[in-house]
Structure 1
Amino acid sequence: MAPQSKIAVVTGANKGIGLAIVRNLALDYPKSPLNRGPLTIYLTARSQERGAEAIKSLNADNALKQAGVLQEGRTTITFATLDISQTKSIQSFRDFLKSEHPDGIDILINNAAVALQGFDSNVVKDTLETNYYGTLEAMQDLLPLVRDGGRVVNVCSMAGSLSKYSAELKEAFHDAVGEDVPAVTALMEKFKRDVGDGKEKERGWPSAAYAVSKAGEIAMTKVMAREEEGRGRGVLINACCPGYVNTDMTKGKGTKTPDEGAKTPVMLALQDIGGKTGLMWQTEKEVQW
């Protein structure tokens, strides 16, 4: 039998950390313990045009050329349209994967996110729509396609750390993690209401839509990892912070290169992490949430 090819999906991958994740998956896969034959990576993004440009840049990439990974069909990088803020887009991508790869996929890296300027009810709603609800929906639709022993990595942020929250809210987050996804979602809804009332500060929240969306994403990752562990399929689900990376999202102020930012997500996708799941990682180590 020919070796079965491995299938990886990276969301929000036309630039920045997402693009670097695709590049480093291609570079690191041949020497990883998961290498079992050819690799197909789906680079997904909202815009077909930007996605095509990203593929072009990877085909011209010197490091990839020197490593020869894109030659001889060893690794194929393909563009697919996915907008995680649109239910229809997630569903049609899921159906596409099911028809192309009825046996499933091996790696899912949820990187797509927004960081909007300002702070008000609309910014909060739009931020949560993509970063929390969009990632959650992508997880719910795509996780069942991940084969036994596969990996799921949610690119979060230490901005989602609970250190800036009131003791009551910290406890509420930990309680929600012990319960289920709807309990985490209820916290995100509470944040929206508290911002709408103009009382988020006095109710223990930071006035920061991105940070709260990422706290929700980390909590949801932990819940889904625990639930998945109960299925006994050996699928590892982890959250990570890439660090402060120099991208459009940080307005070019980041201190790390996108390749450095890609290190931890790529390690969680490809390396032996001792069966660890449901954790938060940064600089290739487990960190406290």
Structure 2
Amino acid sequence: MSVKSRVAAVTGANKGIGLAIVRNLALTYPSSPLRDGPLLIYLCARSASRGAEAVKTLQNDAQLKKAKVLVEDGGDTTITFREFDVSDRSSIHKFRDFLRSEHPDGIDVLINNAGIAMDGFNEDVVKQTLATNYYGTLEATQSILPLIRDGGRLVNVSSMAGKLNKYTPELRDAFISASKSGVADCTSLMQDFSKAVQDGKEKELGWPSAAYAVSKAGTTAFTKAIAAEEDKKGRGVLVNACCPGYVNTDMTKGNGVKTPDQGAKTPVMLALEDIAGTSGGFWQSEKIIEW
């Protein structure tokens, strides 16, 4: 494959917010200040069949056709599927190695959207949720960030569920401190939470009985820590976390109040718009909010 001028990858993109992010990247790119030649978007998902179906859905999307943004319709954006399982370290590394060989000059945008929200609360739910939402997203961030070209963007989709107002002052301070001191301290907090749940003491120690919420607090924390590390390198790569809002998807069991397109607005803005060198922010509704 010939080298494309711009390359983006979106994980967890076969449905819901992820699919809407891919769709809106294609719609927004022609007017983006980052536009520089053709755009190649990797729509990443665990299932090859669902991923291929999602690509086909976008190729037949009425708004995309009307806008003539895809190559098939005379535009300069190509959407293609790549297999990626955020809960599988070897899958993350396989995707990283593919990007490295296919795009030796690097890529421009990574949006880590893949994640899970499980019912119930017990040790197993905590283990699986953290493995995917925290450790998997961290692995994807650390593996692929070095491949992002100078001036590129990395966006981690977090959640308002991970805001710190539901914690004791001590834990809130610990999260803020970890986000400033480094990834190891963020991971240590996740280990503390896991042990508290294992011992049946999470409430006693000030943790919410909510695996998803804690995993997203951890994601926001490590994103801030990595943004600070990246800033020191002077490459101009902007690293941010965002909440898409309460979106009507399978994850919210159809209870969300926003459409997937509305949920995609902030991640797409962070990927393609001029955000004046802002990195390490926690964003919602296209602005930085208090974590």
TM-score bucket of the superposed structures, by smaller chain = over 0.9
Aligned to 1:177: 179
Counterpart residue type for residue 5 of structure 2: S
Query: How far is 1:73 from its partner?
Result: 5.5
Stretch of structure 1 that moved more, 169-178 or 140-149: 169-178
- Secondary structure of the 2:74 match is helix
1:20–1:258: 8 Å Cα contact kept in structure 2? yes
- Count residues in correspondence: 288
Counterpart residue type for residue 52 of structure 1: A
**Identical counterparts, % of pairs:** 66
Query: How far is 1:72 from its partner?
Result: 3.1
Counterpart residue type for residue 198 of structure 2: G
2:4–2:40: 8 Å Cα contact kept in structure 1? no
CA–CA separation in structure 2 for the residues paired with 1:160 and 1:199: 20
Query: How far is 1:228 from its partner?
Result: 0.1
CA–CA separation in structure 1 for the residues paired with 2:94 and 2:136: 14
Counterpart residue type for residue 197 of structure 1: D
Query: How far is 1:31 from its partner?
Result: 0.3
Counterpart residue type for residue 12 of structure 1: G
Query: How far is 1:143 from its partner?
Result: 0.2
1:154–1:239: 8 Å Cα contact kept in structure 2? yes
TM-score (norm 1): 0.98
Distance change (3 Å), C-alpha of 1:77 and 1:47: same
Aligned to 1:241: 243
1:3–1:37: 8 Å Cα contact kept in structure 2? no
1:187-198 pair list within 5 angstroms: 187-198=189-200
Aligned to 1:19: 19
Distance change (3 Å), C-alpha of 1:183 and 1:250: same
Gaps of 5+ in 2: none
C-alpha RMSD of matched pairs (Å): 1.1
Aligned to 2:30: 30
Aligned to 2:233: 231
1:153–1:238: 8 Å Cα contact kept in structure 2? yes
Counterpart residue type for residue 134 of structure 1: G
Which of 264, 267, 276 is the equivalent residue of 2:266? 264
1:148-163 pair list within 5 angstroms: 148-163=150-165
Aligned to 1:145: 147
1:1-289 pair list within 5 angstroms: 5-70=5-70, 71-72=73-74, 74-289=76-291
Query: How far is 1:180 from its partner?
Result: 1.0
Distance change (3 Å), C-alpha of 1:95 and 1:3: closer
- Secondary structure of the 1:233 match is coil
2:12–2:113: 8 Å Cα contact kept in structure 1? yes
